[in-house]
Structure formats: structure tokens, C-alpha cells
Amino acid sequence: MVLERIKEYIDYKGITIAAFEKSIGMSNASFGKSLKSGKGIGSDKLEKILKVYTDISSSWLLTGEGTMLKNDTPPPLEAAVQPIYQPYNPEKKVDNQIINLYDFEATAGLRSLLDNRHANIIDTIKIPNMPKCDGAIHIVGDSMYPRLKPGDIIFYKELPIDLQSILYGEMYLLSYSIDGDDYCVVKYIKRSDKGEPFITLASHNPAHEDTDIDFRCVNAIALIKGSYNQTTMS
């Protein structure tokens, strides 16, 4: 069935059904209901799937013949990620997951990137034995040097914008606005001497000074789970 092949593709991509539904304009939970009931899917939605997910083979999707991915689709890069977030109680790990690598400079900021996960994908990376991640981007700048170098790839997990969920001392990717200016940074978040709702954004590179901001200025945030130096990627 077409629906079962779509589910196979969703599992391969490592995305949620809800995110898939949103990406092709389906109402919430509608795909799951169709899958359970065995109902078909409209031709307009099939066209949207093929338009959004350009690596999927139309022949395989519609007939089941051939392979799931187009023959000209390169296999995902494989990376042994260096963990950054290492909680006291280890997280559940995924044996193998395919993570999208995004062209962050082509997006309208972190909020846009997190809300449009099917856009601006420049590659896919296969990472083994890591907790669930939502995406990956290249590091720009030297504020986290030498822990992270320009061009390194970081893997992140989106979080709710909630000060109570912040794990102080951990590394985050976050965006915020102050006086009409937008910022997107990778920093350690520490407790501010000003008290809540202020936080301190700290760099690994001692040449960069710490900055205090009001957490209420934050419009998107993600926890950095791991990194990889792409110059050694196979």
C-alpha cells in the first residue's frame, strides 16, 4: 500500500508523523487515521510529497517497484558524533538516525529553520548510537573555540521556550531579539547575577565576553547534543 510505503519513508527520515503532515499540508493526525483505516491518500498530497521530499522515488512510492530513494540520491554521510550533552541519567539512544544538515545562512533565522524542517536541506548525515536529534548546522565564528571550530557540524534538539527547562551550564543554539535587532548564537547558558528572568550567555573562547539577556527575548532554542568535525567525516 502507498500509505505503508509513506510510513516506511517517514521512519527512514526519522521525522514524526505530525511533522510530515504539516510539511505536506495534511491536517493533524489525518495520516495516522488513514494508515489505521486503510484509506487512500489524495493525488494532490502525493504530488506534494514528491515535491517536498525530492529524494523519494516516485515509482517506488506509487507502485512499490524499485528502491525507495532515487538512483541519483547519494547515500547519507556517516558520522561518529562527539557527544556534548551528557546527562547524569543517560538518554535513550537511536541505533541509526538520518539527520538533515541545513543551510542555516539561507534561512530567515532559527525560528524559521525549526518551523520549516523540510526546507534548505543541503545534505543528510547518518549518525549511530545517539539520542534523538532534530537537525544539524555548520558552526560559524570562533566564540566556542577550541571546543567547536568554524565549519564543524553541531547536532541539536529543539526545546520549548521555558526558562524552567533550562539546564544551566549546557550548550544551546538560540535566537533572540533586542531593540529590533536579531541574534542567533551558540553559547553556554549560565545563571545570571541579575536573577531570573535574566540568563548569561557564555563563550568557550575567553576572548569573547559573557552577555546577560532577558530570557523573555528568546524566540527559539535548541540543546546542542553533539558535534562533528566534517574534515574527518567519511
- What domains appear along the chain, each with residue ranges and CATH number? 2-63 (1.10.260), 74-234 (2.10.109.10)
Count other Cβ atoms within 10 Å, centred on residue 174: 25
* Residue predicted with more confidence, 80 or 142: 142
pLDDT tens string 22-73: 888 887 777 778 777 777 777 888 888 888 888 888 888 888 888 888 775 5
Cα distances from 105 to residues 15, 98, 147, in angstroms, run 23, 21, 22
- Helix and strand numbers, DSSP H then E, in the chain: 6, 11
The radius of gyration of the chain's CA atoms, rounded to the nearest angstrom, is: 20
Q: Is 23 exposed, middle or buried, given 0-12, 13-18 or 19+ CB atoms closer than 10 A?
A: middle
Residue 233 — very low, low, confident or very high, per pLDDT cuts 50/70/90?
A: very low
Q: Are 153 and 228 in contact (CB under 8 A)?
A: yes
C-alpha cell at 146: 577550541
pLDDT tens string 92-120: 888 888 899 998 887 888 999 998 888 88
- Average pLDDT of the chain to the nearest whole number: 87
pLDDT tens string 121-170: 888 888 888 899 999 999 988 999 999 999 899 999 999 999 999 999 99
Mean pLDDT, range 3-7, rounded to an integer: 87
DSSP state of 168: T
d(CA 90, CA 127): 17
Residue 234 — very low, low, confident or very high, per pLDDT cuts 50/70/90?
A: very low
d(CA 60, CA 169): 47
Count other Cβ atoms within 10 Å, centred on residue 226: 22
- Tell me how many degrees the CA angle 207-209-212 measures, rounded to the nearest 5: 160
pTM of the model: 0.69
75 pLDDT more than 70: no
pLDDT tens string 11-36: 887 777 887 888 888 877 777 787 77
